[in-house]
């Protein structure tokens, strides 16, 4: 019943009577039987050019040279994190509308952090007896209160939801990823999602989607493909001398994942090691397993086999995972991107064999970029450092004391500072005044470039950075003060992570966008475009209205 209501909701808010048009006449490209949306987590916009010499002819290079390649695509929101970018690509709108303002946010009513897609009403389906082993290193998932997962908190319809409504539920819609939030957000409310488990090496899902695993999923998991890597190591694909960053293999500020090491080869360990499946995730193996599972899904779910177009999102997580531990200017980063090039070539060859590339619309993008580590930038002569979250809270609380408020900060989790409404009310102080005083004071802290009080977001501003903050602001989920570190400074809670994204600076907003498929020309475009344009462009190519809350516009080079 819940899924039926959700589908009905998406139909009501996203479509008019035009969706009832005869299917054969409705599509701009009637030969499209499959929309394949590839998202590379953490693939900064310049990395495809940086590592071009290491690519073969059938992966990234094929898409870039035979499709429309946008070199200057950017996100327009401030908190460039995984769920935020994926939801933006899927919905064509900003976090202010789709509600995914961060990987986590402070739940004011519950008084604790909430993980973006957690849903206690939709527990995970078990795949084997011991699903609790393992040590989760994903900082966002550490904040999760429950293992239940669903898209119910995503507040806008996705391109998949749009397709489902247009074709009256006959399109097959799936999302697959190494991360739960990437798979769930792209599958939308009406699709089905699967993701890699760092506890078991299986691909899992929740009761929101199924009562029991389809037989083919159980069969795939029973093969224990991840366990086949026990005792092996991540080694370079090519000879070290062929890499641009061959000299960037051992830097003291890289993170060692408890025995994984800072230099090649990186040992995965044995299968009974609590971090074994996590180490696979922080390597090209996680992407390879995602590819293998996606192939099985395409085959067994018979995607792209009839005139009703299907949708598959495949989100590769390895680049982002590697970046967090080794940084985007590491030899590890170069190798994981080069190996992903081969994986994408394999995926394209499989699509050609099963569906036909002439019948497939392929869209490639990334959910965010990645900043180089402050220590690396300091070595190059650019002064940067690491901010202490506790020190930020202390500064804000000192300002509160000036107004007679002891402990004005209720919670801080980057990039939002949440204030204590009760204490401010008891002090009979103008809330806007307190917010602005804290924001002004934080601007004087070394390493902080911007602090914006939420009360000021309704005012007119010509500052493009403030506009990014506005686009990220949701009235019930965002905090009272948005805080941005200065360029290349690091703002994160303590932990094993060496590099981080999430800022409003261009190295975090810049991503590649590529469209490849029937009727799409070969062209490189350098004008600035935006990630919110992706979903409306897919919709336009299929002859549909854009997703109901979409703010972007169809890209003219694609439609020509």
- Distance between CA atoms of 260 and 268, rounded to whole angstroms? 7
- Distance between CA atoms of 72 and 292, rounded to whole angstroms? 31
* 178-226: pLDDT as tens digits: 999 999 999 999 999 999 999 999 999 999 999 999 999 999 999 999 9
Q: With bands split at pLDDT 50, 70 and 90, how would you rate the model's confidence at 23?
A: very low
- Distance between CA atoms of 21 and 167, rounded to whole angstroms? 10
- Range with the largest mean pLDDT of 92-101, 421-430, 485-494: 92-101
CATH, range 2-376+505-559: 3.40.720.10
Q: With bands split at pLDDT 50, 70 and 90, how would you rate the model's confidence at 461?
A: confident
- Distance between CA atoms of 367 and 322, rounded to whole angstroms? 15
Q: Is 188 left (phi over 0), alpha (psi -120 to 50) or beta?
A: left
3-state helix, strand, coil in the chain (%, to 5): 40, 15, 45
What pLDDT, on a 0 to 100 scale, did the predictor assign at position 147?
85
In order of 23, 28, 458, 529, the CA distances from 544 in angstroms are 11, 9, 33, 21
429 neighbors 401 (Cβ within 8 angstroms): no
Decide if pLDDT at 382 tops 90.
Answer: yes
Decide if pLDDT at 21 tops 60.
Answer: no
Residues 6+ apart with CB under 8 A from 552: 92, 93, 530, 531, 532, 533, 534, 535, 536, 537, 546
- Distance between CA atoms of 354 and 304, rounded to whole angstroms? 8
Tokens of 91: 């919905």
Average pLDDT over residues 483-488: 97
User: What beta strand segments (E) does 89-190 contain?
Assistant: 104-107, 112-115, 173-177
Average pLDDT over residues 7-22: 38
Instruction: Return the closest-CA partner of residue 517 out of 27, 166, 31, 18.
Output: 31
Decide if pLDDT at 19 tops 90.
Answer: no
Q: Please tell me the pTM assigned to this model.
A: 0.93
Domain ranges of the chain: 2-376+505-559, 386-486
The backbone torsions φ and ψ at residue 365, rounded to the nearest 5 degrees and listed phi first, read -155, -175
Instruction: Return the closest-CA partner of residue 453 out of 442, 464, 462, 463.
Output: 442
What pLDDT, on a 0 to 100 scale, did the predictor assign at position 129?
47
Q: With bands split at pLDDT 50, 70 and 90, how would you rate the model's confidence at 14?
A: very low
Decide if pLDDT at 8 tops 50.
Answer: no
Unique residue bearing structure tokens 């993008």: 365
Decide if pLDDT at 142 tops 90.
Answer: no
Decide if pLDDT at 132 tops 60.
Answer: no
What pLDDT, on a 0 to 100 scale, did the predictor assign at position 460?
85
Q: With bands split at pLDDT 50, 70 and 90, how would you rate the model's confidence at 131?
A: low
What pLDDT, on a 0 to 100 scale, did the predictor assign at position 146?
81
What pLDDT, on a 0 to 100 scale, did the predictor assign at position 1?
45
Decide if pLDDT at 150 tops 70.
Answer: yes
* Assigned CATH topology for domain 386-486: Gyrase A; domain 2 (3.30.1360)
Tokens of 216: 């083919």
In order of 193, 411, 423, 461, 469, the CA distances from 442 in angstroms are 41, 16, 20, 20, 16
Decide if pLDDT at 481 tops 60.
Answer: yes
User: What beta strand segments (E) does 134-264 contain?
Assistant: 173-177, 192-196, 203-204, 233-234
In order of 139, 414, 488, the CA distances from 494 in angstroms are 10, 12, 17
532 neighbors 558 (Cβ within 8 angstroms): no
Tokens of 132: 């609790």
Average pLDDT over residues 148-174: 98
What pLDDT, on a 0 to 100 scale, did the predictor assign at position 29?
59
């Amino acid at each position: 019943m819940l899924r039926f209501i959700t589908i009905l909701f998406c139909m009501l808010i996203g479509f008019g009577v035009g969706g009832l048009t005869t299917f054969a006449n409705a599509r701009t490209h009637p030969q499209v039987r499959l929309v394949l949306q590839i998202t590379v987590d953490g693939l900064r916009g310049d990395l495809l050019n940086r590592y071009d010499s290491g690519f073969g002819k059938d992966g990234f290079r094929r898409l870039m040279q035979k499709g429309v390649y946008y070199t200057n695509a950017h996100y327009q929101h401030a908190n460039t994190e995984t769920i935020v970018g994926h939801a933006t690509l899927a919905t064509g709108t900003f976090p202010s509308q789709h509600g995914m303002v961060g990987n986590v946010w402070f739940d004011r009513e519950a008084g604790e952090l909430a993980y973006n897609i957690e849903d206690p009403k939709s527990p995970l389906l078990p795949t084997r007896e011991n699903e609790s082993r393992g040590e989760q290193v994903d900082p966002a998932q550490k904040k999760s209160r429950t293992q239940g997962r669903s898209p119910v908190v995503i507040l806008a319809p996705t391109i998949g939801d749009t397709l489902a409504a247009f074709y009256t539920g006959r399109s097959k819609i799936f999302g697959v990823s190494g991360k739960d939030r990437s798979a769930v957000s792209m599958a939308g409310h009406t699709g089905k999602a699967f993701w890699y488990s760092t506890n078991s090496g299986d691909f899992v899902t929740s009761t929101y989607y199924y009562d029991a695993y389809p037989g083919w999923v159980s069969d795939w998991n029973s093969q224990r493909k991840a366990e086949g890597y026990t005792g092996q190591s991540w080694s370079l694909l090519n000879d070290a001398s062929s890499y641009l960053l061959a000299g960037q293999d051992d830097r003291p500020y890289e993170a060692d994942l408890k025995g994984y090491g800072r230099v090649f080869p990186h040992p995965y360990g044995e299968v009974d090691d609590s971090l074994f499946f996590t180490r696979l995730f922080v390597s090209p193996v996680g992407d390879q397993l995602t590819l293998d599972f996606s192939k099985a899904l395409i085959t067994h779910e018979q995607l792209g086999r009839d005139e009703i177009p299907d949708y598959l999102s495949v989100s590769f997580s390895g680049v982002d995972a590697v970046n967090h531990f080794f940084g985007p200017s590491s030899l590890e980063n170069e190798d994981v991107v080069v190996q992903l090039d081969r994986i994408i070539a394999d995926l394209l060859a499989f699509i050609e064999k099963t569906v036909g590339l002439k019948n497939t619309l392929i869209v490639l993008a990334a959910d965010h970029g990645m900043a180089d580590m402050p220590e690396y930038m300091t070595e190059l002569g650019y002064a940067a450092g690491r901010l202490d979250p506790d020190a930020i809270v202390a500064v804000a609380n000192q300002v509160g004391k000036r107004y007679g408020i002891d402990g004005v900060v209720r919670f801080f989790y980057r990039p939002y500072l949440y204030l204590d409404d009760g204490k401010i009310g008891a002090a009979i102080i103008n809330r806007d005044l307190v917010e602005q005083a804290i924001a002004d004071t934080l601007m004087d802290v070394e390493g902080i470039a911007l602090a914006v009080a939420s009360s000021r977001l309704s005012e007119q501003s010509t500052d493009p950075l403030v506009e990014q903050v506005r686009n990220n602001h949701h009235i019930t989920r965002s905090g009272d003060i948005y805080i941005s570190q200065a360029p290349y400074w690091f703002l994160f809670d303590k932990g094993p992570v060496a590099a981080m994204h999430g800022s409003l600076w261009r190295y975090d907003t810049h991503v590649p966008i590529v469209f490849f498929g029937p009727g799409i020309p070969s062209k490189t475009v350098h004008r600035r475009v935006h990630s919110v344009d992706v979903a409306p462009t897919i919709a336009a190519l299929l002859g549909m209205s854009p997703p109901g809350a979409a703010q972007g516009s169809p890209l003219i080079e694609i439609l020509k």
